[in-house]
Structure 1
């Protein structure tokens, strides 16, 4: 095990990111930019060389439980398994973190079957980046939505342009919740700050609106001219 850059991650509060592929490196660099304490673990010398000096990282094979033990993996608040393409490695690393008692384990999966395995062995959160991105983009290209986030159990938040029938009216006048079963939670007008929606908030054609509700209801609402 070799440190490529002195780790500045403060354990008990930091994030351990295992794997510096596209997912892991994007995650680690974003957390670093946000001021989070991060320590990345990667076994590929090529990736270590690519990221040395840019991230706090250690060259180690996380499929070896002793390597994770030496890193103090259990002391990090969150551990993320960014290895997805190699199923065996993904499962071994996740199992090692479970055995070490890591308090919060996030793991990347590349299929529904992979996700089920990770959940069964003890990962607390499993993400399928490609599947999630595909679902999100499908909603965006099929209508007027500009952004789409499914929270849980069908509850969704979208950013969109207001339907023509709402333009020039206040939210109270449109009765949008009564008529369509969705809720406008915020409005962003050009050149102005975002505001939380109120019954007297007036909607214009150039506004962006943030709307929440069940995915099916939002699809119908966004399909209005």
Structure 2
């Protein structure tokens, strides 16, 4: 019997211990999604009403001032795998909390920025990841509102994935026939016949009018591709 090249075991799932500081709309949504994914989440906020609203939904949730170093130590923040600073409008608290978390030696510190200048300060402090949720969502929705695509996700600054409707001129042809990668500089990675069931795309995949395509590539050629008729 020929030897199989398939891996004999799957990579084990690692349930992370994550602290989410700031339980507003962004922070609470992030924390709940982490819990739904099987992770341990410590939620922290200075607003007792927010804390009470999430009691029983997160692994632990406490009311605390995270700009105090001793408080962070008492809460055991030094032992978490990752911490997310999702504090909203209070820039001073965001910056000071991020700085203290880095001093505690947390492996991965994610910090939400409300502006480019705020993000620059967080990067200078040494935050491992600085995120701009409003900015990223604005860019994503712009492409949807304009009708260019049904969804638009930045993987990196110049590499994106989109969900788009199959151009009518492609109908009845295979990906091999269309030579999309060499012609347009993008790659169709999955297709769907107008429903939620997506299948990986292969050279012999036949495209039809009404199909949805998941396409990946650099921003400029991909922006041109989604405008094809």
For 1:175-186, list aligned pairs within 5 A. Answer: 175-186=179-190
Q: Paired residue for 1:201, among 196, 205, 209?
A: 205
Aligned to 1:222: 226
Question: Matched residue of 1:159: which SS?
Answer: strand
Shift of 1:191: 5.5
Correspondence 1:46 to 2:49: yes
Structure 1 regions of 5+ residues with no counterpart? Answer: 1-11
Partner of 1:74: 78
**Cα RMSD for the two superposed structures:** 1.4
Aligned residues: 214
Whether contact under 8 Å (1:143, 1:222) holds in the other structure is: no
Cα distance in structure 2, aligned partners of 1:207 and 1:45: 49
Task: Name the SS for the 1:169 alignment partner.
Answer: coil
Matches within 5 A, 1:90-105: 90-105=94-109
Q: Give the drift of 1:192.
A: 7.7
Asked if the contact 2:45–2:65 (Cα under 8 Å) also holds between the matched residues in 1, the reply is yes
Partner Cα distance (2:65, 2:157) in 1: 37
Counterpart in the other structure of 2:7: none
Counterpart CA distance in 1 for 2:208 and 2:194 is 10
What secondary structure is seen at the aligned counterpart in 2 of 1:157? strand
Quick check: 1:141 aligned with 2:153? no
Q: Which residue of 1 aligns with 2:28?
A: 25
Tell me how far 1:113 sits from its aligned partner.
0.5
**TM-score w.r.t. structure 1 length?**
0.91
Q: Residue in 2 aligned with 1:173? A: 177
Deviation of residue 13 (structure 1)?
3.0
Q: Distance in 2 between matches of 1:47 and 1:152?
A: 33
Q: 1:81 to 1:192 in 2, by over 3 A?
A: closer
Q: In structure 2, do the counterparts of structure 1 residues 191 and 215 end up closer, same or farther at CA, with 3 Å as the change threshold?
A: closer
* 1:197 CA drift (Å): 1.0
Structure 2, unpaired ranges of 5+:
1-14
Report if aligned partners of 1:163, 1:224 keep a CA contact under 8 Å in 2.
Answer: yes
Residue 143 (structure 1) shift: 3.0
Q: Please state if 1:36 is matched with 2:64.
A: no
Query: What does residue 161 of structure 2 align with?
Result: 157
What is residue 14 of structure 1 aligned with on the other side? 17
Deviation at 1:138, TM superposition (A): 1.1
* Contact 2:168 2:208 (C-alpha < 8 Å) held by counterparts: no
> For residues 149-208 of structure 1, what are the alpha-carbon distances to aligned partners after superposition, in whole Å with 9 as ceiling and x for unaligned?
111131111111111111111001111112111111111224584221111000111211
Cα displacement (A) at 1:123: 0.7
> Normalization by structure 2: what TM-score?
0.89
Q: State which of 121, 127, 133 in structure 2 corresponds to 1:129.
A: 133
Rounded to whole Å, the distance in 2 between the matches of 1:28 and 1:21 is: 10
